[in-house]
Each structure stands twice: as structure tokens, then as C-alpha cells.
Chain A
Amino acid sequence: MKIKVCVGSNCTLLGSMSILDQIEDLKDIIKDDPDNYSDEELDVEAIKCLDICKNTDKNVAPIVVIDDEVILNATGQIVMEKIINKIRK
């Protein structure tokens, strides 16, 4: 699974580093419970600004992309739930 977390200025201001930390922690939960979770690797990448926030007046940061799904106003709990649901056996 490819997870991209934007760490541009807007997203960093509004907590994208914390989302990165939470995804890292998630790896431990997954690793500790091989009965319930597949061993698919979480490929986490911090990426530069996608310019989505700069082309709108709305507040959209932080932005996370899981495989091809773009999540606006991402929070740790939404991102973690999506990852867990995808990786659950």
C-alpha cells in the first residue's frame, strides 16, 4: 500500500507530521498481530505540496493520498482507519 503524506507548508502547519508519526506507530500494531493483518508493506512517503490547497479558497490541509484516493482535511484517525481496513485479513 502506497501512502503519501503531504508535508508542504500548509499541511505541516496543520499537523501532517503527527499523521506521519501515527502511521509509523500503526506499523507496530499491524506487525504484532499477524493473525488479523496481512503482511503487505506500508510504503509511506512524505511528499511536497500538491498545490491542491493553493488552487482553492477552502481549507483542505492536511492532505494524504492512499493508493489513488486523495483525502482532504486528513486526520490521524481517518487515515489510520482506512489503512487498517485495507490491510485487515
Chain B
Amino acid sequence: MKESYVDLINIRRQVFAKVAKMAYEGDDLSELEKASFEILPGEVATYRDSIFRERAIVDERLRLTLGLNARKPTEYNRITDGASIVDVNETRFIEPLINVITFACEACPTKAFIVTDNCRKCLAHPCTNVCPVNAVSIGKNRAIIDQDKCIKCGRCRDTCPYSAIVQYDRPCAAACGVNAIDSDYLGRAQINMDKCVSCGNCIVQCPYGAISDKSQIYQLIKALKGNDQIYAIIAPSFLGQFGPLASPVQIFEGIKQLGFEDVAEVSLGADITTMREAHEFLEKVPNEIPYMGTSCCNSWTIMVEKMFPDQYEYISDSASPMVETAKYIKKKNPNAKIAFIGPCISKKLEALRDDVKDYVHFVITFEELMGMFVAKGIELSEIEVSKEIQDASSLGRGYAIAGGVAEAVKRTALKIDPSREINVEGVSTLHECVKLMRTAKAGKKNGMLLEGMACSGGCIAGPGTLASLNRVRKAVVNFQGQAECESPLDNKTIDEDIRNKYK
């Protein structure tokens, strides 16, 4: 989430709340025809050139929130076309997860260096003198960059004494760490699915709100209204997301009021992942594998698989905290269906994997959950409940913050074998992840434990968050301090035989 994109955030979330309300109230999906008029009443445009276009884009958001594809402007389709496919009580995934709403995209120009009004055509004109391809000349009013010649090295920008030259890039492409954003024939953004790792950073950064993922809240709510026993598992970054007055236990209780059987911390699964990865590291590095990468960020592991296939076997094969938590609940109640609630969009894909789909049945974000609270009229801060949540160790709860995973694995490994020396390196943007893997591939990270996270700052900065990074970081650290135990090896919630296996 980018807090300063206020209008975009509001539109997106109003759509979540609307779809959640329709699901809870059992409205017929034909009501969708009217929904954009309720979200955007009146006839005066607020956000774009006309109310018609505003509503048309909201219509596509409504479809994506239901799990349907956005419509093509070239084909006749009703907003409800295909609705029967997704009007079910289980996840129906229609590819792709990340979608460009084509007519919301303003076809921003691609990366270029541009001379602004600040240029004074100065006598020294260092911009022309430093250009390695002789692309800068002095025109009638200002310096001119020949875009055909320009190799985008940035030297002219760096040397200009008036800060007159700026680098321009489309925000979606600048945010993409794997170069997955191309252009269609009208210059609009188009996602290359062969490259995309579904991190969601383009969704967050687009200032026109033209990119969106799909949601599963409609199907989840239908399932919650039925007889299935659905458990919520909530990611370690949930602290502080739902307002400063909502305590962790009130959040858990509020989730139960939405129709869930029970709620568990995913930090519990993080504790199991930590023990497995610590054990795996001690056993395999450096004899079987030269270094080990952590496994819990799905976009990071997909990136390695796509871009560095020969290195993929060096990523831990321990299951992610989401999967471990789901397995823990499944063991207690084999009939359980499990919904993961987190900051992450990529988890929506992880849950579809063959080895995961029997454990995790729904994935929604914190933003989508907030839409459900609003639809149900739940005020978290007014719930009266006095209990403590003690599912996880403080190291497990630290998974939410960049560096937390490697820290937990390292400290646990050292507890198991204090004689080892363990060096870790962690990065948290997809750009940095790619760079780290390049150096690892070159053999420069041998013996190390590498933590890769696609979002800057870790999961607390995920695309599906509601609160600012600083706010959540404080709340996570505070919640870590409330954990009864520091190490996963001492977490009594986890069966003793599992813990003994790794001690």
C-alpha cells in the first residue's frame, strides 16, 4: 500500500466492502449492474475525465474482486458475464492473478531522460560534454536529448548544476524487479506473465490504479455462510493493521465473528519452518549445497526458479509458514478448511500449488479482510474479550520484518549447534533479490544463509496492508516482546516430538 495514493486506496477498498456486503447479504449477482452507481453516486467526475469512465473502471474492479477477468474494451460483455463460474463457495482461480485494466492505463511513456524548464542553456552546458553518445545538444530554448541516441546512463542528469534533467519512468515498470512490464500497441502497460512473479509492487505503485489482482472474498464469505469449518490463519504482519485501538485478541475475535471457527498465528508455522530450515542448513551447507536461500517469500522463490533455474535447488525446501500453520490445524481437525490472511498477493498463487492446495483453501489480504469487517459492521475496538494469544515464539513473530527470517534460522541453528559459524545476508526488494542471486550464482555467497524478500522492508510492507510500515513495525516488535518464549525450540504449542527432532 502507498498511503499517499488516498483516492485509489479508497476506491479499491470500497469495492472490497461492497462485494463482501453482497456476499454476506446473499444479493443476486445481477445487482452488480448497479454497484458502481452506489460507489460513485452523482454525475460529476471526481477522479477522471468523466463519471462514465470512473464507473466503467469500478465495474472492472468489481469483476476482479469476484475473481473474474476484466473485460476487453473490444468485446461486448455484460458486467455479470461469467459470474456463475465464480458464484461458488470455493476458490475458482482464473489466470492471470495480476491484471491491467487496459482502459484505466494512461500509457505513460517508457523510461527516458527529460530536460525540464529548469534548463538555462548555460554557457558551460556540461550535459553535452559528458554524454558518451553525443545525444545532448543545445536547442533554442533548452538542451535537447536525442532519445534515439540516448543510452540512459544518467551522466547529463548528474552533472547539471540546475537539476534540470530528470529521469522519467513509468511507475509500474520502475517498481518491477524482473522487467515484466511491456507495452501493448497503444503503449499501455502489459504484463509479461513468463517473467512476472506476482509480487504486486506494480499494483501498489501505479498512480492511475490501472493494475489489480483478483480476490477470493466473495467465495470465502459464501463458504463461511455454509457448513464448512473454516479456520483463519493470520500472517505475522497483522499487528496494527486494523487501527490503533484494535488489540491482537480483538482482531482474532472479530475474525471469528465473520464466521470462522478459530484463528491461529502464522508465526506458529514460522516456528516450524525455522526449525526445519535451521536443521536443513546445518545438514546441507556446505557439503551438499554451497549456500541456502530461505523459502518463505513466494515471489523470491518464483524469481529464482524462473531466472536462476540451476540455483533453485539451493533454496530451502522447507514449507512456508503459511503451509506449516495450515498443516498444524489440519492435523487437529482433518475437516478444516483454511483461509490465509496476509499482506501478500503472491500467496494467492502459492496456495494453488499441488503440494499446498489441500491445506490452504483461500488467501485474502488485510485490506480485503477490512472490507469484510466493514460489510459485517464489526467494530474491533468495541469487542470485549480478555485472553492472550500465545501461538508462537518471538523469533517466529519477527518473520514479518525484513531480516527476521534469517535471524530466526540463524539463532535456532546456533542453539542446535553452537560450534558453527553462520553468516547471513538479507535483501528486501525484488531488484535486490535479483542482484543477490547473481552474486550467489557467481559463487560469492558460498557458505551463507540468504534471505530474499520481494517487498521493501519485508512482509510489513506487502501490497495488501492497511497501515504504514513504521506503525506495523512498532506493533510487531511490541507483540514479539509479549511472546512467552524466544526460541521456536521452546514453543510449547508445537508437539514436543517435532521439537525434539530438531534439538
Candidates A15, A21, A54; contact of B10 at CB < 8 Å: A15
The reply to whether A13 and B471 form a contact with Cβ atoms under 8 Å apart is: no
Number of B residues with CB within 8 Å of any CB on chain A: 28
Q: List chain A residues, Cβ under 8 A from B373.
A: 9, 13
Is A48's CB within 8 Å of the partner chain B? yes
Q: Is B239 part of the contact surface with A, judged by Cβ < 8 Å?
A: no
Given A9-B379, A9-B380, A49-B379: A17 and B244 interface contact (C-beta under 8 Å): yes
Q: Are B245 and A46 in contact (CB under 8 A)?
A: yes
B-side contacts of A76, CB under 8 Å: 6
CB neighbours of A47 from chain B (8 A): 245
Are B466 and A17 touching (Cβ within 8 A)?
Answer: yes
Verify if B300 is at the interface (C-beta below 8 Å from A). Answer: no
Q: Is A14 an interface residue (CB 8 A)?
A: yes
**Whole-angstrom distance between the alpha carbons of A49 and B374 in the complex?**
12
* Cβ of B491 to closest chain A Cβ, rounded Å: 31
Given the contacts A9-B373, A16-B243, A17-B471, A48 and B6 also touching, CB distance less than 8 Å: no
B381 within 8 A of A: yes
CA distance A74 to B381 in the complex (A): 21
Say yes or no: B6 contacts A12, CB within 8 Å: no
Closest chain B residue to A17, Cβ basis: B467
The answer to the question of B13 belonging to the interface, with a C-beta cut-off of 8 Å to chain A, is yes
Partner of A48, one of B9, B13, B379, B467: B379
**Binary interface encoding of chain A residues 17-36 relative to chain B, with 1 for a CB under 8 A from any of its CBs, else 0:** 11011000000000000000
- A58-83 residues at the B interface, CB under 8 angstroms: 75-76
A7 within 8 A of B: yes
Residues of B within 8 A of A54 (CB): 377
Using A13-B17, A13-B370, A15-B3 as known contacts, say yes or no to A7 and B243 having CB atoms under 8 A apart: yes
**Structural contact, A15 and B471, CB atoms closer than 8 A:** no
Known: A46-B243, A48-B379, A76-B6. A13 touches B468 (CB 8 A): no
Question: Can you list 28 A-B pairs with a CB-CB distance of less than 8 A?
Answer: A7-B243, A7-B245, A8-B243, A9-B370, A9-B377, A9-B378, A9-B379, A10-B374, A12-B242, A12-B243, A12-B370, A12-B466, A13-B13, A13-B14, A13-B17, A13-B374, A14-B9, A14-B14, A17-B243, A17-B467, A18-B4, A20-B244, A21-B470, A46-B243, A46-B244, A46-B245, A48-B379, A76-B6
Known: A13-B370, A54-B377. 16 other contacts (CB 8 A): A7-B381, A9-B243, A9-B374, A12-B242, A13-B17, A13-B371, A13-B373, A13-B466, A14-B9, A17-B471, A46-B243, A47-B245, A48-B379, A48-B382, A49-B381, A49-B382
